Amino acid sequence: MSDKTIASLNSDLYYDILRRLDGASLASAACTCASFSSISKEEVLWENVCSTMWQSTHREDVKSLIKSIGGFKKFYADCFPLLVNKEVPEFRWSSYVDYPDELTEAEYYGDMDELENVSPSDLVSIVDIKYKDKTICSKVLWGIPNANGFNGWFSNCPFRIDLLAYSDRDNDDTGEVTLSETDGLPPVMSMERERKDGKLWQELRAGIRLSWIVVNRKLKQAANLSSLIPLGGQRHWPTDKDFLIRFGSVLPSKDIIPWQVVECILLMKFRVIYSDGTGEGQTTLKLTELSMQLGDVEGAHVNGRNSLLILKESLSCPRSKNYSEVLESYKLYSKAQSELKEEKIRNESMLDRLCILSGITAFATFCYYML
């Protein structure tokens, strides 16, 4: 057997080894030797990695999109790590500016000429939900629905995308998204029992994962705006059969709105639609909401115009494979949010007391002169 044949055999063997690896392992293997490094550059390997992670990338239109923005290797490098904003400012009341209502929008938000370079049609949302590593929902949204006239109502109204309200193009999967015991959910003997032990809620939060990738076709950039793992949630809201799960990330908004950061709020809501209470039937959860909003530190929702700019900037935000860094960033944001709320309450309370004292003083003065 010639050296050329041996080299060819080794190449085939190496390829067979590398195609079985996940993305992180494939990237590590590429650093071990020249042969692995050369083979690991092949796009077909990274396409396989992406299709394993994100069911949506199986679609032909998504494949074409990924190729047009730099290929599968770049797409994985952009979207596998989570966004981490390490510049969350500490709250200081002395630096807080309570903008008066009479400010015009231009004065509040500054120069918006940059908006001309952002279009809703540039953005594509690629969304996948997994439960215990099994994909239960994949959706792709091209552009932002009903935002064609984004210089009108969309520009000034609170930004919100309700993903379940829109059908995918070229996608026949328009049925309901459900989870049941066959997917690994624990049986619910009764909702009364669930209210006490919360077993279904705990299993749902532990097993559910969300990926919400936003692609800017014009800039050829992409990022995953989800925290992947839930940041929080609330069971039995607004009824005792609803489970609200919250994902998201902290995005930069410097020079766009007064606060330097905003929160990307990704909400997922499930409802218990069937449980016969006998322990023999299946418990089923139906996905009833999957939405995105942007909220500032004061709790107000960001309008469409500024959301477009923030989403554009977020695609250049630092990333990390360490979930603890993502969680720390979110905790810093929540801390600043809580401290601002508490300080505003204290100031409002002090103002109320001053008003009461002023009223008492005025009344006492009035009585004195009447006497």
| pLDDT score recorded for residue 176 | 86
CA-based nearest residue to 228, from 283, 271, 266, 173: 266
Q: Long-range pairs for 278-285 at CB < 8 Å and ≥24 separation?
A: 279/187, 279/189, 282/180, 282/181, 282/182, 282/187, 283/180, 283/181, 283/185, 283/186, 283/187, 283/188, 283/200, 284/178, 284/179, 284/180, 285/178, 285/179, 285/180, 285/185, 285/200, 285/204, 285/243
The type of residue at 315 is L
| Helix, coil or strand: residue 90 | coil
Is pLDDT above 90 for 96? no
| pLDDT score recorded for residue 3 | 41
The type of residue at 221 is Q
Query: Around 240, how many Cα atoms within 13 Å sit in the side-chain half-sphere?
Result: 8
Is pLDDT above 50 for 107? no
Give the pLDDT band of residue 213 (cuts 50, 70, 90).
Answer: very high
Apex 328 CA angle, 325 and 330, nearest 5:
115
Residue 296, token pair as written in the block: 């500032």
Residue 1, token pair as written in the block: 């057997």
Owner of token pair 């990704």: 266
Give the pLDDT band of residue 266 (cuts 50, 70, 90).
Answer: very high
Q: Percent helix, strand and coil across the chain, each rounded to 5?
A: 45, 25, 35
Is pLDDT above 90 for 247? yes
Mean pLDDT of 360-369: 56
216 vs 42, more confident: 216
- The 10 Å CB-count burial string (b at 16+, else e) for 176-208 is ebbbeeeeebeebbebeebeeeeebbebbbebb
| Helix, coil or strand: residue 60 | helix
Please check whether residue 247 is in contact with residue 259, taking contact to mean a CB–CB distance below 8 angstroms.
no
| pLDDT score recorded for residue 260 | 84
DSSP 11-56: HHHHHHHHTTS-HHHHHHHTTT-HHHHHHTT-HHHHHHHHHHH-GG
| pLDDT score recorded for residue 32 | 82
CA-based nearest residue to 226, from 214, 216, 217: 214
CA-based nearest residue to 267, from 210, 224, 318: 210
The type of residue at 180 is S
**How far, in Å, CA of 127 to CA of 217, rounded?**
16
285 vs 6, more confident: 285
The 10s digit of each residue's pLDDT in 121-162 is 999 999 999 999 999 999 999 998 877 655 567 888 899 999
The 10s digit of each residue's pLDDT in 275-312 is 655 545 578 999 999 999 999 888 889 999 899 999 99
Residue 333, token pair as written in the block: 């944001």
The 10s digit of each residue's pLDDT in 333-349 is 888 877 877 776 666 65
CA-based nearest residue to 208, from 168, 177, 172, 238: 177
**How far, in Å, CA of 309 to CA of 207, rounded?**
33
235 vs 65, more confident: 65
Is pLDDT above 60 for 34? yes
- The single-letter DSSP state of residue 301 is B
**How far, in Å, CA of 252 to CA of 313, rounded?**
7
CA-based nearest residue to 333, from 252, 234, 213, 233: 252
Give the pLDDT band of residue 5 (cuts 50, 70, 90).
Answer: very low
Q: Report strand pairing: 261-274 vs 134-142.
A: unpaired
